[in-house]
Structure 1
Amino acid sequence: MSGGESDGSGGLVLLDVFGSPFAQRVRIALAEKGLAYKRAEQDLAAKGDLLRRSNPVHGKVPVLLHAGRPVCESLAILHYLDEAFPATTPLLPADPYARARARFWAEYADRLHFCGKRLWLRRDGGGEEAAEPEAREEMVAVLRALEAELGRKEFFGGEAFGYVDAAAAPFAAWFLTYERHGGLSVAEECPGLAAWAARCSRRESVAANVYPPEKVYELVQEYKQWVLGRK
């Protein structure tokens, strides 16, 4: 799978794994900007030379190669795309204060992933009674903070889909997994955020690059069994 075969991208190659929400951020951004690129799916269990050379510090995806030069870490890549391709639709707002605020909330959205992992990566299975109370409370707090920032806006940046939306949209597909393992309901706790997630899921850039929630849940269950089986 690739985002296009033309050379109009200036030689963009994305090293990624399709199911990675961090890699999905970059694919969403590339789609929103209409940039052609080639995907190079990576095997994280047996990392190849290209990935090791491109990200020698962490050896993780995503890595964007632009004319052979690597840019690592998903949010850094989103920044880079705005600066390297100024003629495309911007993700970050022009106002310096709004840009700083967007960067803060995009980084804050990572808490969904790390807190969610505490909910589902447990040996004892799902259900509200089995969830760590602290992890569940933290997840609800993170969701509510994001909803408060969203407010009554269509997207985090206003009417237009932007930087925070691209950063957080992949995690919206994980809401079902968080609910089943944490004994919570995003729609009940944060109806505005749930509506935002639904709007994002209908965008072509998101739908084409993010697994649907049931698929995410299935993959998480498989991954959980694999991880716990190694312990």
Structure 2
Amino acid sequence: MDNEDVKLHGFWDSPFSSRVIWALKLKGIPYEYIEENLQTKSELLLKYNPVHKKVPVLVHGGKIICESMIIVQYIDDMWPHIHPLLPKDPYRRAQARFWLTYCEDKVDLIWKVFTTIGEEQEKYKEWSEMMRTIENEALVMMNVEANKKYFLGEEEIGIVDISFGFMADWLEVTEEVLGERLLEAQAFPRLHSWIQNFKQHPCISQNFPPRHEMFLHFKAIREKVLLGATY
């Protein structure tokens, strides 16, 4: 089954789709990418993901897998010997899964900050608390001098880095559109260093959405929010 066709249904500026792309690229797995229009969802997408009706969806040899981090874990289980994404040590694997859960619990916060205004937006300012937790807990083992560049003090990009990867580019675009710094390098030196390390890896840097197009897309969304639209 390893060599059977791999297809990915995604959306061009979705950080969740990018998670899957990064995992496939890190492992060198060839795949066919199918771009979805989220305004008029395809019959295939609705068939493959009838529960949530959203991307990403991975199709491997006719088997359907949904939800970005479940897909990434499936990819790691399917091709475990090529750039393993989870640590081998059981304790470190448990740590990784803890931070995966933490990320999934918090990932919507930045979107809430971006798509609300005024008092409603203030409710989601715990975003800064999330970044402080990442800085002081998740990245505390990162030691750049010893070439430990990534989450949990790993030398190579792992599953937790992929999970938090949305912070590496989408966060900066969000800051540009909002005209507000959400992540100051001086306040979050470890997090800032991790972002630079993550973005410099060719499998990551070569697979970000086009920056200017993403800025225009986010700017249009923000303008609609300011006019009273809800997301």
Q: Does TM, normalized by the shorter one, top 0.5?
A: yes
1:83-137 deviation line (CA, Å, top 9, x unaligned): 111232210111222112212212322455411122221356xxxxx8944423x
Separation in structure 2 between the aligned mates of residue 58 and residue 84 of structure 1, nearest angstrom: 24
TM-score by length of 1: 0.84
**TM-score, structure 2 as length reference:** 0.84
For 1:191 and 1:213, locate their aligned partners in 2 and report how far apart those are by CA, in whole Å.
Answer: 24
Matched, 1:50 2:50: no
3-state SS in 1 of match to 2:8: strand
Q: Give every structure 1 segment of 4 or more consecutive aligned residues whose post-TM-superposition deviation is greater than 6 Å.
A: none
Q: Cα distance, 1:204 vs. partner?
A: 1.1
SS at match of 2:9: strand
Question: How many residue pairs get matched?
Answer: 219
Which structure 2 segments of 5+ residues have no match?
Answer: 143-148
For residue 198 of structure 1, the aligned residue among 196, 199, 202 is 196
Compare 60-69 and 178-187 and name the one that shifted more.
178-187
Q: In the alignment, is the contact (CA less than 8 A) between 2:15 and 2:170 conserved in 1?
A: no
Corresponding residue for residue 162 of structure 1? 158
2:82 pairs with 1:82: no
What code does the residue aligned with 1:31 have?
K
Tell me the distance in 1 between the aligned counterparts of 2:183 and 2:78. Answer: 40
Mapping for residues 165-176 of structure 1, pairs under 5 Å: 165-176=161-172
**What is the SS of the residue equivalent to 1:187?**
coil
Partner of 2:28: 34
- AA paired with 1:173? D
Give the share of equivalent positions with the same residue, in percent.
Answer: 32
Distance in 1 between residues matched to 2:205 and 2:62, nearest whole Å: 29
Residues 6 and 60, structure 2, Cα contact 8 Å, conserved in 1? yes
Query: Residue 128 of structure 2 aligns with which residue?
Result: 140
Partner residue in 1 for 2:146: none
| Contact 1:131/1:183 (<8 A) preserved | no
CA distance in 2, matches of 1:29, 1:170: 14
Q: What's the counterpart of residue 223 of structure 2?
A: 225
Q: CA deviation at 1:226?
A: 4.4
CA distance in 2, matches of 1:186, 1:174: 15
Residues 86/93 of structure 1: CA separation in 2 closer, same or farther (3 Å cut): same
CA displacement, residues 50-106 of structure 1 (integer Å, 9 cap, x when unaligned)? 101111111110010001111000110111011111232210111222112212212
